[in-house]
Amino acid sequence: MATIFTGCSNDDDEDGSGAKTPAVGEITGNISSNVTYAYGNYTLKGMVKIQSGVTVTFEPGCTITADKSTGENGLIVLNGGKLIANGTAAEPIVFTEKSKVPGSWAGIIMYGDAPIVNSASNPAPQTATSEDGTGSIYGGSNATHNGGSLKYVRVEYAGQVITTNSKEHNGFSFYSVGSGTVLENLVSYMGNDDGFEFYGGTVSAKNLISYGNKDDSFDWQDGWRGQDNTNWYAYQVGTGNYGMEIESKSVDNNFWPKIVGITLKRAAGTVTEAQSEIQLDAIQFKKEGNGDYSNIVIDGYKNQTGSTPWNGGAIQVLDKTTYDHQVAGGKIKLTNVKVTNTDNDFISGAATFTLSSSSFNPTSNWNKTTTATGASLVSGNWSTVNGVNLIQ
């Protein structure tokens, strides 16, 4: 059995007050049959896997707590499985960790078989091996893959990194997840790696908050191509790298993701994860990353001083190939952009090219303004931790 329960369901009312009595229990092992977790408090133990053909449902208000002292913990939705976690603004579903230390567990990992692109020469459908340490294969041709529905879900203190690039986790990791999956009003809070990472796929996401994550707030690769993304908000504090890191495994794609309504903010005094690396820009494009982004607010990406000074800026292009194919080729669109409290609009990652507003072709691919509003989010319990509203 994957679950052991004690306590009562939310239908019980032991004291006659009308308040729901939370269930309690442990979630562990492979989940091989459909199950609904009633409103309550649960312990997550081990790398729990929702098997193909299985639907797991959490009711609004559930709190699921991992404990790093028990080993590696996380919730994995395998391809063909479904996670239905539909909270509300008042009763979010919260996945957290007992010690409240960033990087203490693996977060939520979802697999699908939507298309990815990581090679210019291989025929579709392409596949790749995950970097979460499970050695799982992801990718396929099912653009409408459906991994379930996540609404008003918060993941706290995740982003466990065991071996860099071969066994590391984020708050939310979406491997070739398809457009049939619903992702709305999600929070990744105080993780040790990326807040949200998309490994290819066609899924879109609305109303995202990435707060205090130590690597990138938002990251993707493998030709992710979500087309209906709105209201992405990032606040970097203490330690953080890029607001958005955009790459496509060095494949010059003719498609791109689209995001409308982006706010990327960096608190004063925030430093990069590794002081020796230039990773303090709001948006970085590399390895043929591209996309269509509009209504963007960028604030606080200042130059870094100290033992290893670096220039900070709104937009960085790391390599000349990305500059030649994506910037000059008109595949990077940044329109209605408001930049404040930031030392440079543009940063070139190599001495072989100069990035400026005139680099974009046509000129309508870059438009700076003072009227952009960025992400538009409504605060509530879902966006509040320890009494602090995450929307700064």
In order of 83, 118, 290, 340, 348, the CA distances from 204 in angstroms are 16, 19, 16, 28, 29
161, 173 contact by CB (below 8 A):
no
What band does 1 get if pLDDT is binned at 50, 70 and 90?
A: very low
pLDDT confidence of residue 164: 67
Instruction: Please give the full DSSP string across 265-311, using - where no structure is assigned.
Output: EE-TT-B-SSTTS----SEEE-TT--EEEEEEEEE--PPB-SSS-B-
Per-residue pLDDT of 297-310, as tens digits, reads 999 999 987 766 78
Q: Average pLDDT for residues 170-189, to the nearest whole number? A: 98
pLDDT confidence of residue 235: 98
Q: Average pLDDT for residues 365-378, to the nearest whole number? A: 97
pLDDT confidence of residue 166: 63
Q: Average pLDDT for residues 200-213, to the nearest whole number? A: 98
Indicate the average pLDDT of the chain.
92
259, 228 contact by CB (below 8 A):
no
Per-residue pLDDT of 113-138, as tens digits, reads 999 998 887 767 899 999 888 889 99
Per-residue pLDDT of 128-176, as tens digits, reads 999 888 889 999 999 999 999 999 999 999 998 876 666 789 999 999 9
Strands 196-199 and 128-129: what pairing? unpaired
User: 206 CB contacts (<8 Å, ≥6 apart)?
Assistant: 183, 184, 185, 228, 229, 230, 231
Continuous segment of H or E residues that includes residue 97: strand 93-97
Per-residue pLDDT of 237-294, as tens digits, reads 999 999 999 999 999 998 899 999 999 999 999 988 875 566 889 999 999 999 999 9
Res 4 pLDDT > 50: no
pLDDT confidence of residue 307: 65
Res 321 pLDDT > 60: yes
User: 68 CB contacts (<8 Å, ≥6 apart)?
Assistant: 97, 98, 99, 101, 104, 105, 160
Q: Average pLDDT for residues 333-358, to the nearest whole number? A: 96
- 246 forms beta bridges with 220, 285
Domain boundaries, the chain: 1-226, 228-237+258-392
Q: Average pLDDT for residues 325-345, to the nearest whole number? A: 97
Per-residue pLDDT of 39-84, as tens digits, reads 999 999 999 999 999 999 999 999 999 999 999 999 999 999 999 9
Res 223 pLDDT > 60: yes
38, 77 contact by CB (below 8 A):
no
Rounded-to-integer distance, Cα 329 and Cα 352, Å: 17
CA dihedral 138, 139, 143, 146 (to 10 degrees): -10
b or e along 235-273 (b: 16 or more beta carbons within 10 Å of the residue's beta carbon)? Answer: bbbebbbbbbbbbbbbbbbebbbbbbbbbbbbeeebbbb
Q: Which two tokens stand for residue 16?
A: 């006659």
pLDDT confidence of residue 8: 36
pLDDT confidence of residue 304: 82
258, 229 contact by CB (below 8 A):
yes
Nearest CA among 210, 205, 198 for reference residue 246: 198
In order of 9, 26, 149, the CA distances from 6 in angstroms are 9, 9, 27
CA dihedral 136, 248, 163, 138 (to 10 degrees): 0
Q: Which two tokens stand for residue 217?
A: 């707030």
pLDDT confidence of residue 5: 46
Q: What is the pTM of this model?
A: 0.94
Conformational region of residue 163, where left means phi above 0, alpha means psi within -120 to 50, and beta covers everything else = beta
For the chain, the distance separating the N- and C-terminal CA atoms, rounded to the nearest angstrom, is 43
Go through the chain and tell me how many residues it has.
392
Res 7 pLDDT > 70: no
pLDDT confidence of residue 121: 76
310, 303 contact by CB (below 8 A):
yes
What band does 6 get if pLDDT is binned at 50, 70 and 90?
A: very low
